[in-house]
Amino acid sequence: MGYYSASEYYTSLFGEKVYRIALDAGCTCPNRDGTKGFGGCIFCSGSGSGEFAADRNLSIEAQLSEAKARVGAKCKSHKYIAYFQNFSNTYGDEDVLRSKYLAAVSDPEVVGIAIATRPDCISEKMFSILTEISRATKLWIELGLQSIHEETARWMNRGYDLDVFEKTVWQLNERRIDVIVHVILDLPVETRAQMMETVDYCASLPIHGIKIANLNVLSGTRLYDEYIQEPFALMEMDEYISFLGEVIEHLPESMVIYRLTGDGDKKHLVAPMWVSDKRKVRNRIASVFAALDVQQGRQCRLS
């Protein structure tokens, strides 16, 4: 089961392995501050899904320096991607955010910037800023879609309609800015057919890459409260990996797959616990996908 992995893509782009450094731009979200709602998405933790991000009280320069020192022992490369990860990183004072992006660009070891945000949080001024940044370095914009189904979007408190997402994808595409989309599988309110409809929708758009995650239940989230009150079944590891293989078959070979499973912080992870053993999960995915390649007579391109 071959697919275009992020590791393979980065090596082709930069000539070597690169490491993502999670930064905190000090943002929030419109469905947290009352603009669209409160509490955030149902699965989102108090840190805005940024458990691994740096300290927001530090400057971007200090965050980069501290993170590089932390990962230096296991990262032989000296090329990094500055990843503005948690909350919505185009939501706030545009001039302040521009200065933070530029601070990351100014680091000679930073070869690109990834900015995670919502499609309803990119103003016309921000589009201009993103275009400026894309001319200074490699830029990826990560958009949290999760599902195309409006009933699911209401359940998860996403706070924007599908047409907003699609319009933003095309606007970024027109500016030649690569888009990475976040999709969640194993949603308790959806069938597998509905999840595959989301995958097929992503495959139909000019999307550069995708992050696929199985639903993780983390303590301190509204999903956790729902799960404790009325537990719902989640896929076991082999069941999920088998479905993941079907999902990948529906994606274009040119689409970069940045993530295959959820990556919840072990301190807060409640279910499914099997995702906490990353090495075991990676090895199992490689084993299952390689077996599928043998069965189908195809060469495995795992990296």
**Spatial CB neighbours of 124, under 8 Å, sequence gap ≥ 6:** none
Over the chain, what is the mean pLDDT?
A: 91
pLDDT at 159 over 60: yes
Q: Which residues pair with 83 in a beta bridge?
A: 22, 114
Q: Is 299 part of any domain?
A: no
Q: DSSP secondary structure string, 161-181?
A: -HHHHHHHHHHHHHTT-EEEE
Does residue 300 fall inside a structural domain?
no
Asked whether residue 302 is domain-assigned, the answer is no
| The predicted structure's pLDDT at residue 1 | 58
Q: Is residue 179 part of a domain?
A: yes
Asked whether residue 303 is assigned to any structural domain, the reply reads no
Q: What pLDDT is recorded for position 50?
A: 45
- Give how many domains the chain has, as a whole number: 1
Residue-number span of the structural domain to which 59 is assigned? 4-294
Q: What percent of the chain clears pLDDT 70, i.e. is strictly above it? A: 92
pLDDT at 183 over 60: yes
Residue 127 included in any domain: yes
- Decide if 278 is inside a domain: yes
Do the domain assignments include residue 170?
yes
pTM of this structure? 0.92
Q: Which CATH number fits the domain that encloses residue 219?
A: 3.20.20.70
Q: What does the pLDDT look like over 218-240, one tens digit per residue?
A: 999 999 999 999 999 999 999 99
Q: Of all helices (H) and strands (E), which one includes residue 213? A: strand 209-214
Which tens digit of pLDDT belongs to each residue from 68-91?
Answer: 888 877 777 789 999 999 899 999
Question: What local confidence, expressed as pLDDT, does residue 300 receive?
Answer: 36
pLDDT tens per residue across span 35-67: 888 888 999 876 545 455 678 889 999 999 998
